[in-house]
């Protein structure tokens, strides 16, 4: 990892091929068994070149999943808080559908042989997105005496926990989205009512 101009078209192509190769390999084997050598070979890039862009496999994994993480964080922050308890809001359903489509990837990423960096990144993005939203005033009522960061971290962790449990155990995305929404929403409306 020296300095490589990220805007150089050659560098962009190389990174794109490396990320594509990573996603292909991640579908076939555990992350811990994916080597820099195998990545370089599949991406048809010299092994030394990989280190010009990523210091290790984990960094490449995280970058390859960045779009997915951003989509999840955005969807989470878009959920209207006043949706009825019995019907999960659209963005949340779409979030779980996105995870369902890429379930094999998320299972690998969040599993025992997954990526600590990805999991940390996902929690962090979710926490930041929710904290920003709460700071904007759009925060569920009833927890004004809890720091915004804590509240955001609580919900971000809960979402990651439910996703990890769901992709490992199976079930439809509708069930998972509704279960999460009920767990969140009940506390929310109840707190407002007392």
Partner DNA sequence: TTGAATAGTCAACACATGTCGCGTAAGCGA
Partner DNA sequence: TCGCTTACGCGACATGTGTTGACTATTCAA
Closest approach of a second copy to the CB of residue 3, in Å: 22
Compose the 46-85 pattern: x for residues touching DNA by CB under 7 A, - for all others.
Answer: xxxx-xxx-xxx----------------------------
Helix, strand, coil proportions of the chain in percent (round to 5)?
75, 0, 25
The smaller minimum CB distance to a second copy, of residues 90 and 149, is found at 149
DSSP state of 87: S
Stretch 8-37 residues interacting with DNA (CB under 7 A): 8-11, 13-14, 35-37
Closest by CA to 178, choosing from 154, 155, 162, is: 162
Stretch that binds a second copy, among 6-14, 44-52, 69-77, 146-154 (CB under 8 A): 146-154
Residue of 19, 53, 121, 125 that binds a second copy (CB under 8 A): 121
Span of 42-50, 83-91, 171-179, 180-188 interacting with DNA by CB under 7 A: 42-50
Alpha-carbon 51 to chain mean position? 25
By CB under 8 A, what part of segment 31-50 binds a second copy?
A: 32
Q: Could you say which of DNA, a second copy, none residue 145 binds, taking C-beta under 5 to 8 angstroms by partner kind?
A: a second copy
Residue 52 engages a second copy in binding (rule: CB under 8 A): no
Residue 173 CA from chain centroid, whole number? 16
d(CA 85, CA 58) in angstroms, rounded, equals 38
Does 45 engage in binding with DNA (CB under 7 A)? yes
Which contacts qualify for 48-52: CB closer than 8 Å, 24 or more apart? 49/14, 50/18, 51/1, 52/1, 52/2, 52/4
Q: Which of 4, 11, 23, 179 binds a second copy (CB under 8 A)?
A: 179
CB 123 within 8 A of CB 157: yes
């Amino acid at each position: 990892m020296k300095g490589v101009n990220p805007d150089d078209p050659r560098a962009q192509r190389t990174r794109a091929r490396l990320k594509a190769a990573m996603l292909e390999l991640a579908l076939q084997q555990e992350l811990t068994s994916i080597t820099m050598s195998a990545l370089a070979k599949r991406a048809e890039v010299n092994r030394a070149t990989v280190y010009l862009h990523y210091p290790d496999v984990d960094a490449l994994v995280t970058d390859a999943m960045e779009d997915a993480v951003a989509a999840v964080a955005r969807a989470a922050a878009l959920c209207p808080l006043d949706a009825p308890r019995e019907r999960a809001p659209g963005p949340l359903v779409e979030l779980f559908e996105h995870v369902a489509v890429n379930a094999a990837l998320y299972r690998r990423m969040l599993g025992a042989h997954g990526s600590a960096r990805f999991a940390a990144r996902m929690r962090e993005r979710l926490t930041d997105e929710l904290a920003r939203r709460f700071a904007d005033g759009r925060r569920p009522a009833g927890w004004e005496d809890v720091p915004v960061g804590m509240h955001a971290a609580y919900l971000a962790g809960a979402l990651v926990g439910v996703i990890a449990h769901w992709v490992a155990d199976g079930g439809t995305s509708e069930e998972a989205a509704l279960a999460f929404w009920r767990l969140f929403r009940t506390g929310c409306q109840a707190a407002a009512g007392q």
